[in-house]
A and B are shown apart, each in its own frame.
Chain A
C-alpha cells in the first residue's frame, strides 16, 4: 500500500479532525470501492470466438480505482475542513452581503428577460432554440415536482409517471379523436392529476424512504402498462403522427392555411420552434405563478407545515389526507401539462422517454436547486440540462463530470443552490417588520 505514505504526508491542518479519522474514513471508502470494483472492473468477461465466456483480469485498473477513491476521500475530508462545518454561516462584510442581496433580486427578472429574448437573439440557431425548449421543459417539470417534494416534503421518485400520463393522454386523444392541443392540454393535466390522487391514496401513511420506494414502483408500473397495453398505447412502438399545436386553430405549416401565409411572410420551420419555445415558457411561468400564489394560501401553507411536522399539523386542525392528495394532484397536474407539451413537440412518443432516469433527473434538479426555491430550480435545470449538452464532447466521461459536480455542490451547498426559503408573512401586523428582521431567520 504505497498510498499510505501519500496519506501520511497530508498537511498538518488535520489538527481539528485528526489524521486518524481521515485515514480511517479513506480506508473504509477504499475497502468499499475494492469490494464493488473487484467484479465490476477487476474481472472483464466477454463472449469468446466460440461463443463461450472468456475473461481476463485487470488488477492494475482496479488498484488505480481503489487508490483514486482513497486519495479522493482524503481530499474531500481536507476540503471539508477547509470550508469549515457546512452549516455555520460564513461571516461576510455587510457591503458584500448587500451586493449579493441586490444581485439575488436582479437575477430572476434578468433571467426572465433573457429567456424571453432568446428566440430573437438566436433566431437562426436551431440548436440553441431546441436546447432552450428542452431546458424550459425541465424547468417546468422541476417546478411541478417542487410542489410535491419541495413544499409538501413528499419524496416522489416516480414523477415521470405523470409526465407519461400527460403525454399519452394528448397523443391518444389527438390521434384517435382528432381533438386539438388546446382542448387536450387541460384534459391531459386533469388525467395526470387524477393519477396523482390514485397514487396518493395508498401512500398516505408513508413517509421518507418508504414513500420513495412506492412512488418509484408507481412510475415503473405506469411505464410497464404503457409497454404492454399494445392495443391502446402501441406498446414499445409508441404513438406517432401526433398533431402539432396550432396558434388558435392556425397551423404553423407551409401552405395557404398556414400562419406564414396569413401573415404574408415566407414560411420557415423556425416559426414552429419559436412558437414552441414561447408555449413552454408560458406553461412554465403558469406553473411558477400558481406555486407562488398557492404558497400564500392556506393550502400552500399547510403543505409546508406538513413537510415540517405532520403531528403538529393534525393538532392544528389540518386534514392531512386532503393536504397530501392535493399536493400530489397539483404536482401531477403540471407534470401532465409538460407531458402534453412534450408529445406535441416530439410528434412521436414511446415508453423509452419515460424511464426512471427522467424522474431521477427532475428530482436532481429540485434537490440541487434547493427544495422549495423557484429560482433555484430554474437555475439547476439550466445547469443540469445545459451542462449535459456542454459536456457532450466528453462522451462517457460526461456522467463522471456530472457526478463530481453534484458531489461538490452538495458539499459546498448542502441545501441546494438557493437553500433559503423566503418567508411569506401573512398576518397583518401593525408594527412593520423591518427587512433585517425577516432576513435574520434564513440560513
Chain B
C-alpha cells in the first residue's frame, strides 16, 4: 500500500452499524489526514460514540469499509485493531479503579511494542504532559478526581505510542478549567508529536476551535463538514449546538 503524505491515515467509507434493528450509522464517509485534528460533533444519540466504537469493531460494521494506514480493519478483531498504533480513550474514561496510576499506564503500554527505553520515554512524555499523574503515580485510579481520571485515560491510551488517538467526550462532566487543560494537552500532542486526533464532543465550541476540520453527525449521517472555523461560523451549527452553551 502506498502511504504518501496525501493518503488519509483513517478512511471510512459508507459505514453502517446497528444495535439489533436500530440503525445507528446510516452510511458515514469520513477521512482524516495524518497530523490532523478532526472533531465530530452532534447531538445526543446522533451516533458519535457508535462511530468511534465501530472503528474498534464494537459494534461491527454492517456495511462499508474502515481503512487505517492502508490496512482494511473493518473485520479485524478488536484487540488487534488496538495494536495498530491507533488508541482510544473511551467515553466515561473507564480507567481501572482498583489499580494504581502506574499500573493503569502500564496496561496501556502492554499492548504496544517497543523497548523498555522507548517505554520509559513515552512515560516521561505522558507525565510531562500531565504533571498531575506524576503526583498521583502510586495512587489508586479510583481515588483520582474526574479530571485526573480523564488525564489518566488519555495518558493510558498514549502509552502504546499511537499515531492516531480517538477521544470520546474528553470534557464529559469536567470543570471548564480542567477541560481547557486537557484540550491544551491535545493541541500540544498534535503540534509537537504530530499525533492525529479524532475527537468526539458535545462541547462543539471547544472542539471546533481545537480542530482543523469538523464533521457534523445527525441521526447517523454526516450533514456538514468543513474547517473548524467554517463550521463555527455556520448559522445552523450555532443554532443546533452552540446557543445557550456559549459561555467559554
Contacts and interface: CB of A to CB of B under 8 A. Distances in A.
Interface of A: 298, 301-302, 304-305, 307-309, 311-320, 421, 423-431, 433, 437-438, 440-443
B41 interface: no
B132 to A, nearest CB: 13
B58 A314 contact: yes
B138 A427 contact: no
Interface in B84-142: 87-88, 90, 94-100, 102-103, 105-112, 116, 119-120, 123-124, 127, 134, 137-140
Contact of B110 (A298, A433, A437): A298
A319 B111 CA distance: 10
A305 B90 contact: no
A304 B140 CA distance: 13
Contacts of B68: none
B219 interface: no
A425 B124 CA distance: 15
Residue picked from A308, A320, A440, most chain B C-beta under 10 Å:
A308
Given A315-B88, A421-B98, A431-B134, A301 B106 contact: yes
A441 B140 contact: yes
Interface of B: 56, 58, 77-83, 87-88, 90, 94-100, 102-103, 105-112, 116, 119-120, 123-124, 127, 134, 137-140, 143, 156-157, 160
16 contacts: A301-B103, A301-B106, A304-B103, A308-B98, A315-B78, A315-B90, A316-B110, A318-B79, A318-B111, A320-B79, A426-B106, A427-B123, A430-B124, A433-B137, A441-B100, A441-B140
A423 B137 contact: no
5 nearest A-B residue pairs (beta carbon) = A317-B111, A441-B140, A317-B82, A438-B138, A308-B96
B98 A304 contact: yes
A351 to B, nearest CB: 38
Contact of B56 (A301, A305, A314, A425): A314
B138 to A, nearest CB: 4
A423 B110 contact: no
B108 to A, nearest CB: 6
Contacts of A318: 79, 82, 107, 110-111
A301 to B, nearest CB: 6
Contact of B116 (A428, A430, A438): A428
Contacts of B100: 423, 425, 438, 441
Nearest to A314: B78
A416 to B, nearest CB: 13
Contacts of B81: 317
A314 B79 contact: yes
A311 B79 contact: no
Given A314-B78, A320-B79, A423 B123 contact: no
Nearest to B93: A312
A442 B140 CA distance: 7
Contact of B96 (A305, A320, A443): A305
Contacts of A441: 100, 138-140, 143
A315 B56 contact: yes
Contact of A314 (B82, B95, B102): B82
Contacts of B140: 423, 441-442
Residue picked from B77, B88, B108, B111, most chain A C-beta under 10 Å:
B111
Given A302-B107, A427-B105, 19 more contacts: A298-B110, A302-B110, A304-B98, A304-B99, A308-B99, A309-B94, A314-B56, A315-B82, A315-B157, A317-B83, A319-B79, A425-B102, A426-B103, A427-B102, A433-B138, A437-B139, A440-B139, A442-B140, A443-B143
Nearest to A313: B107
A276 B89 CA distance: 52
A443 B119 CA distance: 30
A442 B98 CA distance: 9
Contact of B123 (A429, A438, A440): A429
A193 B88 CA distance: 34
B234 to A, nearest CB: 33
Residue picked from A312, A313, A426, most chain B C-beta under 10 Å:
A312
A230 B56 CA distance: 50
A40 B168 CA distance: 55
A421 B100 CA distance: 10
A320 B143 CA distance: 26
A157 B30 CA distance: 48
B73 to A, nearest CB: 13
A235 B199 CA distance: 63
Contacts of B137: 425, 429, 431, 433, 437
Contacts of A302: 107, 110
A311 B120 CA distance: 26
Contact of A312 (B95, B106, B123, B143): B95
A73 to B, nearest CB: 32
Contacts of B77: 319
Contacts of A423: 99-100, 102-103, 138, 140
Residue picked from A309, A316, A426, A429, most chain B C-beta under 10 Å:
A316
A313 B78 CA distance: 10
